[in-house]
Each structure stands twice: as C-alpha cells, then as structure tokens.
Structure 1
Amino acid sequence: MSIAKVVQGLVTGPVPVRFSAFDGSEAGPSDAAVGFEVRSERALSYLVTGRHELGLARAYVSGDLEVHGDMYEALVAVNGLKLDQSWSGRYQALRDLGGLRLLNPPPRPPMEARLHGRRHSKERDQAAISHHYDVSNRFYEWLLGPSMAYTCAVFPDAAATLEQAQFAKHDLVARKLDLQPGMRLLDVGCGWGGMVMHAAREYGVKALGVTLSRRQAEWAAKAIAEAGLSDLAEVRHLDYRDVPVNHYDAISSIGLTEHIGRAQLPGYFRFLQQRLRYGGRLLNHCITRPDNRDPGRYRRTFINQYVFPDGELEGVGHLIGVMNESGFEIRHEENFREHYALTLAQWSANLERHWAEAVEEIGHSRARVWRLYLAGCRLGFERDQVQLHQVLGVRLDPKGAGGMPLRPSWP
C-alpha cells in the first residue's frame, strides 16, 4: 500500500494539506497552502519511534521530512487533524508502512542535547545554557533585532513594532520595581544586557547583570561601552549562585526561572530575598504552564531535547506560593500570554528574512530547529498550552512595612 493511502487511512475526514512521499504517492489538495513531504524511510522510522512530537521534530531537523509553505500554518493544520488513535489502526498502519523494521530507531540528530552530571548542578546548568545561548551573537542579532531582548515583549497595541514592545517591556519592569536614580539593580539571567542598559540609561540606576553565557557577557560588555554606560551598567559571566550578599534595591529575573528546576525554586527565591534590602522588590518574569496537573516535567520532548535542555515549567500558582514561602509578599501578578505569541511571530519573521544568512552562520539543521521551535511555541501560547507571567514581590521589614503605594504606580 502506498504511503499516501496509509496516511489517508489514519486521518478521519479530509486531508487539508498537500502530502507527498518518496514512493511517488500523494494525498490532499494540490492547491493547499502548506505541504509535507516524506523524503525517506528514515523519516517514517523517526515518526514511529519518537514519542509525542519528538519523532516529527527529528525527521524535520534531519531533513528527512520537508515542510513546504509557512511552518506556523503547517503546524496549525497538523493540530487540526483528527487521527485514528486506536491500537488496531496504528498497528495496521505500521504493517502497511514496512512493519517491524521501522521500530529500529535511527541515530538521533546531532543537534539533540546530551548533558551529563547531576541535574541543575553548576556544571550541567552551564552546559545547558551554552547549548542554547552560545550559538552565535550574529545569529541572535538577526533574530532578535536591535534590542537583543530574548524574552516576551509587551505590545502597547497590535501595531507596535518589536523594538517598541521590547522597550515597553523593560520600562514596565522598571516601573514595577520603582527604579529611581542612584538605586542598585541586580538582573539575574540578564542575557545580552537589555534590562541592565535600560535601567542605567532611562533611570540612572547602577545595574549589575549576570549570565551563564560567555558570549552574551562579551556582547553586552561591548554594547555597554559603546553606549557610554560603563559607569552605571555591568554584565558579568557569572552563575547567579555566586553573586555575593549585597543588599540591592531591586532584582529583576526575566526568563531565568524556567532554567532553575522545581526542586531548586525555594532556594532560588530565598537567595534573591537575602540579596534585597527591606522594602526592595523582585520582579519575576517567566514562562509557566497553565496549571500544575501535568507531572511530566522531565519528559523527552522537542523543546527539552533541542532547545532548552533541563528546562522546567511550573504553574503560576506554584511559583507564587514558593515566592511567598521564601519571604516575599506578593503585590501584583499579570499574564502576557498573547504578547508572547506576538513576540514569537516577530522573531519568526526575522528568521525568515535572514534565512540564508542564518543557515550559513549556524548550519541548516540548527536553523530548522529554530524555525520549528518559534512556530510551535507561538501556537502553544495562542492556545493556552503555555503562559507568561510577571509576579511582583517585596521584602518586608521586621515591622511588616514594604514601602508600597496604596495603588500601583504603573499603568
């Protein structure tokens, strides 16, 4: 039986995409906007042996599966398919496609992370961060644009540019922290220094950022010097756990909590609380799960294997609870889920504009990882499979005073 007929047999209803395979068979409308091409039997083996979405990702990253048309639209179409999930249907499809030989998994693509040592040890965390962030600063410049901000932007309106939205995000964080000239800010997981430079340039704050990525720290040091901010802003290649006790006026954690791990969260927030003065504020900005019902934090998925190894997401309720138990009074919480979908759409557009350069800079397989990752995450935020929350906490003094205004001082 042809591969196309097997696919049609697994789908309940019409096939809304173009489908073609190496045996010459085809299915679906020829004028569909997107199409999938199975280029080899190895692609079938990846699809059969990979759990969850990992098989599709391995086939695509390796080049054995091609997606024609826009990746985001292709994923929307795949998510809309109604498949025969019965064991009998899947067993018959396996037999028709080639039988037991497909169950011998091909070698994993070299882009998959292979970490060693104790989870969330300093050495393993360094390797995990390096896997994703020490790719190429030139690549990130193309992807992120001039802001070099690799976290969810805050769009004042749908027509705002990515740069305007990233400025708005940094400024919102600054206002929630009530930054004032002469204050000292610690930014943990600072990336390329966007928040550090914003605080120094716009608010006259003396800001220190720390990152586990050496390439980020090198890029940030150069950017700070070129901006004439070296007297106020600094970025160090340093594990946040090695930041000495020095009572800061404010701490921002933008996109780091995802890398900490559930078991380490109480120690993480206690560590930050101990580095704040009384009345000092912490703004935690991170990706979360929509709830805490899914126990599969260590599941082997595309994101964990290719993008953020050892990453762990928690529900915002759990994070708020841990922050509270670690000595913070929670004063404000906000969900920016739709904003992250808009941010990812902008990053995807940047990647496509620089596709040829990106392939030359980081290689075809790694560029395909990014194309799939950005489109898949955009869909996830749109459909409430993941969220983005900002949580503001304050360290109270021994008498319970936190210095907060009666009403928020930010719009």
Structure 2
Amino acid sequence: MTSTRRMPIGDAVDRLMRDGLPVRFTAYDGSSAGPPDAEIGLHLRTERGLAHLMTAPGDLGLARAYASGDLDVTGVHPGDPYDLLVLLKDHTRFRVPPPSEAFAIARGLGLTHLRPPPPPPQEHLPRWRRVVEGLRHSMTRDAEVIARHYDVSNRFYERVLGPSMAYTCALYPTAEATLEEAQAAKFDLVCRKLALRPGQRLLDVGCGWGGMVRHAAREYGVRALGVTLSLEQAQWAKEAIDREGLGDLAEVRHLDYRDVLETGFDAVSSIGLLEHVGVRNYPAYFAHLRDRLRPGGRLLNHCITRNHNKRQETGAFIDRYVFPDGELTGSGTIVSAAQDAGLEVQHTENLRVHYARTLADWNRNLATHWDECVAEVGEGTARVWGIYMAGSRVGFERDEVELHHVLATRNQDDGRSSFPMRPDW
C-alpha cells in the first residue's frame, strides 16, 4: 500500500487564488505562498488552525484560527490590523475549484483535517442553536447576548474607548479633534436636536455606561433616566454619576427598555440600541418609545444602518463573535417604522465617515494598551476586538454600512409638533 503524499499548504493556497496573495503566507510545514518581500504576512502555526480553515471556509474559519492563536499576523499590530484587511479586501480573489479538484486538495492536505475542532471560547452558538435561550429578541435571549458582549470587562473598555466610555459613533467637529472631544460633540448634538432645557425629563434607552445621561444632566440641567441590559455598565454608570455629583439629576437602571413604564418624558434618546432590537420588532419598539413621550416630545434614534433596505443577515463572524442576534437595515426602513408608529420624522443625517474615524481611534487605543487589554480579557478576545473594529472601519469607509440619526416628534392631536420652521441646532 502506498501512502498519500501530503500537499504543501502553501501550494494549496496558491491553487485557490485567482491572482495570488498580496501578503506573505507561511505555514508550520515550511511551505509558503505570496511575495517573499511583502511587508505584511500571515503564519499558520498549527494543524488545528488548518482544520479551522478547512471546515469553515471564509471569515468564520479565519476568525476561529486567529482567535485560537493558530494564525498569526506579521507586519501589523494585532490591535489594529486595518492595513492587512485592506490588502486582503482589495487584492484577494478566491477561485472555486471543481469538486474533483477540491477533493484532491482536501485529500492532499489530509482528510483528518475535515473534522472540526472545538471553536474558541469567544464564539457564540450559531443562530439555529440559540432557540434554547429563547426566541430571537425575547427579553431572556436579549439579556444573554447583551451581557456576552458588554459584560466583558469595564477595565478593558476603559482602555479601548477612553475616558468617555462611549461605545457609539463619535462626531468629529474638526479633522484635529480628539476622540474625547468627538464623543462630547456627539452627545451635545443629540441634546441640541432634542432641544433639551433645564427641568425637562429625558429617557435614554440602551444607555451604556451613562455618557448621554451624564452629559444631558451636567450640561443641560435635565432629569435623565438611562436603562441598560448590562449589569456591569449600570454599575459603572452609577459610580460615575456619584463621582460627578449628578445624583440629583441622573439615574441609570439595570433594566430592559421594554420594562420602562414611566411616561411624559420630554425627550427620548436611543444611541446604539436599535441594532439589537430586530427588524420585525421595530413597530413595537417605536410604539413603546412614542408612548413614553409627552405630546410635543422628541425622539432621536442613532444606529448603524445598511446602504440599502433589503433583508440581509449579519455575517458569521459578527454574529458569532461580536453581536449575536444583531440586525441591520437601511434608514428608509427605520423612517417607515417610526412613521407607522405615529411619529413625525423631522430630520435624518448620515454620520458614516465619523464612525470610520471613531473605529480608527478605538483600534489605536487597543494597540497602545495591548498588554493591559490582553491581561484583562485574554489574547483571544483582544484579537477578536482588534479585527472586528478594523474590519468595521473598512465597511464604513466604503459605504457598506452607515450611521443614521432619525429625529422624530410625537405630535399633539391637532398636528402641532413644537418643532421650529427650520432645524435650530
């Protein structure tokens, strides 16, 4: 009996590329592919990494190998692999071999590698298995997936997000603005769009670490209530409110927005929550927020959007590693849902380019504080955050995703909205 000769991994990579690799690829078997003088490289360290790539072709397999430490990057910092992702996106074209050739490649690499290894601990269950946690976007399941993403470590987020602890798109008033200045400008823009004044009541749903609540209370003198599904966020926010002496004006509760029963708010802000709600739940979401407002009150919805309004599931990497159950759609769908709930949409604005800049600053923070972040959450999680933020930056730069403000009013029964003839912010 003759043994099957193993195919060098680098040769297999070459055969699967239409125009070659733009980076240097090396593998544990000593083989390689791509230009020898490339400044950026990928190194496959283990057979387990090969099995990840063979059993989950595409971004999921790459994510598994990378998060497991079986695939390393060279020439870029793991906290900011932006340059690598741009190269791969612009210059990598895979070819789909015919079945006979695909089998020959798999056999050459070793059919034993077609047995999937256990995924890294950072990976969440696939959508079809999450039914055991409850229906998609039920309160129970939403609480679990939100905790999985946000209850990572407040210390980790402090290093990545900076002192503002704002995990949403900033607003850069000038090209020279710092991340902190841009986050303050974002909160201030929301306050001005909502026309906040001293003594008014604000509800901030999905309040995160309380940045909007504290800004509105401190700078505009409003009584602000924030709610979040993340216990760690709520605890951090309460401590920040106490440190800043805002306890008489600001409050954060560990609560689902659907459990807020108070009404008569002058304004409602929702900054980065709608991505977690689910498109089919938009009618109930906007109806609930409308009912929290007094007649004449304003709602500002800030969320990531697609550049179209067609149905599109989130990619496997984002769904399994970053935002389980997250759903995006176009701003047109959001506007329609708000109108159908009885709100008058007064203004929309696309802040896409600002989110690309925000993500670049977060990546820079992660790279700068890499050792501290790894010590806090482990290298696998830090790697996932680095590649997720850099990949998202590419998406915003290329208009694959956008960021929209939708400003709406709950009008009086006679149609009066208390909105000025022209936007006044």
TM superposition score normalised by structure 1: 0.96
1:294-313 to 2 correspondences below 5 Å: 294-297=311-314, 301-313=316-328
State the Cα deviation string for residues 80-118 of structure 1 (Å, max 9, x = none). 234342332861673365253332221111111244222
Confirm or deny: 8 A CA contact 1:6 1:96 kept in the other structure.
no
Determine the structure 2 residue equivalent to 1:217. Answer: 234
For residue 87 of structure 1, give the secondary structure of its aligned residue in structure 2.
coil
Task: State the Cα deviation string for residues 314-364 of structure 1 (Å, max 9, x = none).
Answer: 111111100110111011001111110100000000001111111111111
Q: What is the correspondence of 1:246-257 to structure 2 with a 5 Å cutoff?
A: 246-257=263-274
Pairing partner for 2:34 from 15, 28, 36: 28
CA contact (8 A) 1:245 1:274 kept: no
Q: SS in structure 2 opposite 1:80?
A: helix
User: How much does 1:374 deviate?
Assistant: 0.9
Moved more, 354-363 or 33-42: 33-42
- Per the alignment, residue 122 of structure 1 pairs with 139
Match of 1:106 among 107, 117, 142: 117
SS at match of 1:274: helix
What is the RMSD computed on CA atoms of the aligned residues?
Answer: 1.6
Conservation of the 8 A alpha-carbon contact between 2:169 and 2:355: yes
Q: Which runs of 5+ in 1 are unaligned?
A: none
- Among the aligned pairs, what percent are the same residue? 57
Q: 1:163-197: CA deviations, max 9, x gaps?
A: 01001100000000000111100000000000000
Within a 5 Å distance, the mapping from 1:275-354 to structure 2 comes to 275-297=292-314, 301-354=316-369
**Shift, 1:6, TM fit:** 2.0
Q: Which amino acid aligns with 1:41?
A: E
Shift of 1:120: 1.2
Q: 2-side partners of 1:52 and 1:33: how far apart?
A: 23
- Residue 98 of structure 2 aligns to a residue whose secondary structure is helix
Any residues of structure 2 matched to 1:55-74 within 5 Å, and which? 55-70=61-76, 71-74=81-84
Correspondence for 1:77? 87
Q: Assess if the C-alpha contact under 8 Å between 2:350 and 2:402 holds in 1.
A: yes
The one-character-per-residue Cα deviations of 1:287-336 (angstroms, maximum 9, x if unpaired) are 11111234335x6x111101111111111111110011011101100111
> Following the alignment from structure 1 to structure 2, what is the Cα–Cα distance between the partners of residues 148 and 222?
13
Counterpart CA distance in 1 for 2:118 and 2:105 is 20
Structure 2: any 5+ residue segments left out of the alignment? 1-6
Correspondence 1:11-410 to 2 at 5 A: 11-50=17-56, 52-70=58-76, 71-88=81-98, 91=102, 94-95=105-106, 97-114=108-125, 115=130, 116-297=133-314, 301-410=316-425
Q: Flag the 1:200–1:110 CA change in 2: closer, same or farther, 3 A.
A: same
Deviation of 1:69 (Å): 2.5
Distance across 1 between alignment mates of 2:354 and 2:183: 11
Number of matched pairs: 408
Per-residue displacement from partner, 1:347-406 (whole Å, max 9, x unpaired)?
Answer: 000001111111111111111111111111111111112111110000111000101111
| In structure 2, distance between residues paired with 1:140 and 1:257 | 21
Determine the C-alpha separation between the residues in 2 that align with 1:409 and 1:275: 24
**CA distance in 2 between partners of 1:95 and 1:138 (Å):** 44
Q: TM-score under structure 2 normalisation?
A: 0.93
